[in-house]
A and B are shown apart, each in its own frame.
Chain A
């Protein structure tokens, strides 16, 4: 009879321990990935509207998200206001900022039919100005916010749910649901869905396509206020963090089938899980390549997206 302490038995016990540990690790990584994915959906939903529906290649989108993070940071460090409350309060300001950016984009590029090359360069320039401007003002130090829930977590057995991930996750799902209702139930929302397909038909319905596009683009920038607040709750932020999100958001947007909000959510959850598993089992230094690699693969083999035809 094998006796505890013999080498073979010790090895079997150790093996069992490693197995159960790695299963726990796997489940936790899976859940962390889902939570992360919910947040990614919030960052991407703006791109799904501007790039997916309006066909405006706004590569400066992550820069607006970082701007949202810094506003949440400034208000939090000076007045102690909760970052997510700040994000909600900043929604109208970001809406008007988005409307202004669209106006410049429309008069300078879209109206003149130069939106492809120069429009892209314009947004690239904006991305660059935002990043360097933030570096000049705040430096490259990581900034973070203080809130009661930032370092708390719920525990169910070995499952660990940090509140700093759970709250953005839940709020993202709520926001996504509201946006989906707006796009499918209201006249303006339906007009936004229609504007990319047939501008003339929209004019016949007595809606001004430029106005509809302005509203939609402004809405896409408004989502950055909240997404930025979520970002700084989840992790410390410095100006160049935004660049990592360019690949992620476009990967999710394309994978989700351009402009479909449910598709965006599914793709975001998928990317979150794959990234989290990669970081857990191969090391965090590989995680940035996952989103971009997935994007390259999607573009090469399935450009219509997961749910596409």
Chain B
């Protein structure tokens, strides 16, 4: 399938999802759907670095919060349309991703993982102590009730996140089938051999880190408008870090469809569990599923399906 064909189909599915949510006629579905779509973007972004090159990023929450807080910063300066904020948030998070990668990607993989953990805490401390964006008290963002053309504001946010999710999936799928994707795969499989065969590994890793960070920042940029009141502990929430790792690993890391499956399944499950049981239990559920999958089904759901299909042949 060509990329444009994929894009047409993806947009068609997106339009169906939007029509369905509208037909159900309850704003809750837009609120819940927004969260699930946001996780689709985060999981796909994580997978571009983690799944394709094999470098683990524990700091997804930091990149997400960077996007969210660049929006707050710009909003305090002058209210801007969300698409511009998304580009700004993506740029900031991408730059930080590039910087972190530049400092640590020359070392062994474990050091990069630990550095990303550290990045989240350093950034959170900076934000907590930075009064302009609200400090530890948090910042209020008053969002308009209505928006031109779309009407309802939550539907507008939902549409934006839907567009981002389609864009993220298209980028991931395109990378997978390109020279870039093969380069990433050589790093994952044997970095030393790749280096020896002339693959510019550091350059490729930096591209992956920057792209992945930028996409996470983009997912975070509309967040202050969604939640209305942003405080450091919600922007840097542990659920972003753990979900963006758990979703691709549960779905399957080698294909673009893996993070999508993981995010839709886990995201929906968590929405249901939050409403019916409690939010602490649903986080526990994610942790247990993550550990169970990496032990029992290391290739994720995609791997399980592929194995079954191969056995049938």
Contacts and interface: CB of A to CB of B under 8 A. Distances in A.
Nearest to B119: A296
A188 interface: no
Interface stretch (B69-77, B144-152, B154-162, B279-287): B279-287
Nearest to A128: B287
B54 to A, nearest CB: 5
B121 A250 contact: no
Nearest to B53: A117
B283 A121 contact: no
Interface stretch (B175-183, B263-271, B289-297): B289-297
B284 A120 contact: no
Interface string A74-111: 00000000000000000000000000000010001100
B295 to A, nearest CB: 5
B121 A288 contact: yes
Contacts of A117: 50, 54, 56, 253
A136 B284 contact: yes
A28 to B, nearest CB: 24
A120 B121 contact: no
* Most chain A CB inside 10 Å of its own CB: which residue of B54, B113, B121, B283: B121
B111 interface: yes
Contacts of B128: 285
Contacts of A295: 114-115, 118
Interface string A284-309: 01101100110110011001000000
Contacts of A112: 298
Contacts of B196: none
Contacts of A116: 54, 56, 109-110
Interface residues of A, number: 42
Contact of B113 (A57, A126, A132, A247): A57
Nearest to A287: B125
A59 interface: yes
B117 interface: yes
B50 to A, nearest CB: 7
Contacts of B298: 112, 114, 118
Contacts, number: 124
A122 interface: yes
B126 A132 contact: no
B109 A128 contact: no
B110 A57 contact: yes
Which secondary structure dominates chain B's binding surface? helix
Interface string A248-289: 001100100000000000000000000000000000011011
Contacts of B118: 246-247, 250-251, 292-293, 295-296
A108 B297 CA distance: 10
Given A121-B245, A129-B287, A247-B118, A299 B104 contact: yes
Interface in B76-117: 103-104, 107, 109-111, 113-115, 117
B122 A108 contact: no
Contacts of B281: 136
B302 interface: no
A42 to B, nearest CB: 20
Interface string B235-266: 00010001001100100010000000000000
B129 interface: yes
Contacts of B125: 285-286, 288-289, 292
Contact of B115 (A114, A126, A135, A299): A299
A247 B117 CA distance: 7
Contact of B294 (A108, A135, A243, A303): A108
Listed residue (B136, B253, B290) with the most chain A CB atoms within 10 angstroms of its CB: B290
A292 B109 CA distance: 18
Contacts of A133: 284
B295 A108 contact: yes
Nearest to B245: A121
B117 A246 contact: yes
Interface string B133-174: 000100000000000000000000000000000000000000
A102 to B, nearest CB: 14
A180 to B, nearest CB: 25
A9 B104 CA distance: 55
Given A126-B287, A296-B122, 17 more contacts: A108-B295, A116-B56, A117-B56, A120-B56, A121-B56, A121-B245, A122-B294, A125-B291, A129-B284, A129-B287, A135-B280, A246-B114, A246-B117, A250-B118, A285-B128, A292-B121, A296-B103
30 contacts: A57-B113, A109-B294, A116-B110, A117-B50, A117-B56, A117-B253, A118-B249, A118-B294, A120-B56, A121-B56, A122-B291, A122-B294, A125-B246, A125-B290, A125-B294, A128-B238, A128-B242, A128-B287, A128-B290, A129-B284, A131-B238, A243-B121, A246-B117, A246-B121, A286-B125, A288-B121, A289-B121, A296-B104, A296-B122, A299-B114
Interface of B: 50, 54, 56, 58, 103-104, 107, 109-111, 113-115, 117-119, 121-122, 125-126, 128-129, 136, 238, 242, 245-246, 249, 253, 280-281, 283-284, 286-288, 290-291, 294-295, 298
Interchain residue pairs A-B with the least CB separation, the first 8: A289-B125, A125-B291, A128-B287, A292-B118, A300-B103, A129-B287, A125-B290, A132-B284
